[in-house]
Amino acid sequence: MSVTIRKIQEGDKEEWTNLWSGAGGYLEFYKSTVPEKVTETTFKRFFDDKDPVYSAVAVDDSTGKIIGFANYLTHRNTWTIGDSLYLNDLFVSNDCRLKGTGRKLVEFVYTEADKFGCENTYWHTQFENHRAQLLYTKVGYKAGFLVYKRPKE
């Protein structure tokens, strides 16, 4: 399968939204939901020059369809002078997995981090997401941190 990775465009909204929150999409994979307003706001942020939130899409060259995405953001931190890049979401359609698309998306994000001058690029995944971890151990390393969250009241 030949795939092109490129920055998201405003005309990609319907396909991105279907991969994000549609049947068989990212949120369903994680057994989660977000309000439609969150999805709308997230998509708008990709095109706001004042907001350091970005997205890249994977396009199947034979069909022109979007088959995956990487959503990422940059931020300051206290451990480096340069910013960090956080790969917030990485997703490839179930029927297109294990064909190198996830790796290409991660490599695109690495290139973006270099362009931004980010000194650190990182991401999280669920402990049980073993298939993704097979890729992640090839393109990165396990940092040894656990994530804790503030409980909702």
Residues of the chain with pLDDT under 70: none
Tens of pLDDT, residue by residue over 109-129, are 999 999 999 999 999 998 888
Which residues partner with 92 through β-bridges? 68
CATH number of 3-139: 3.40.630.30
Q: What gap in Å lies between CA 22 and CA 28, rounded to an integer?
A: 8
CA angle 11, 17, 18 (to 5 degrees): 110
Percent of the chain with pLDDT over 70: 100
Residue ranges of the domains in the chain?
A: 3-139
pLDDT of residue 130: 86
Residue 44: left (phi > 0), alpha (psi -120 to 50), or beta?
alpha
Task: Of 48, 55, 53, give the one whose Cα is nearest residue 17.
Answer: 55
- What's the helix, strand, coil split of the chain in %, to 5? 35, 25, 40
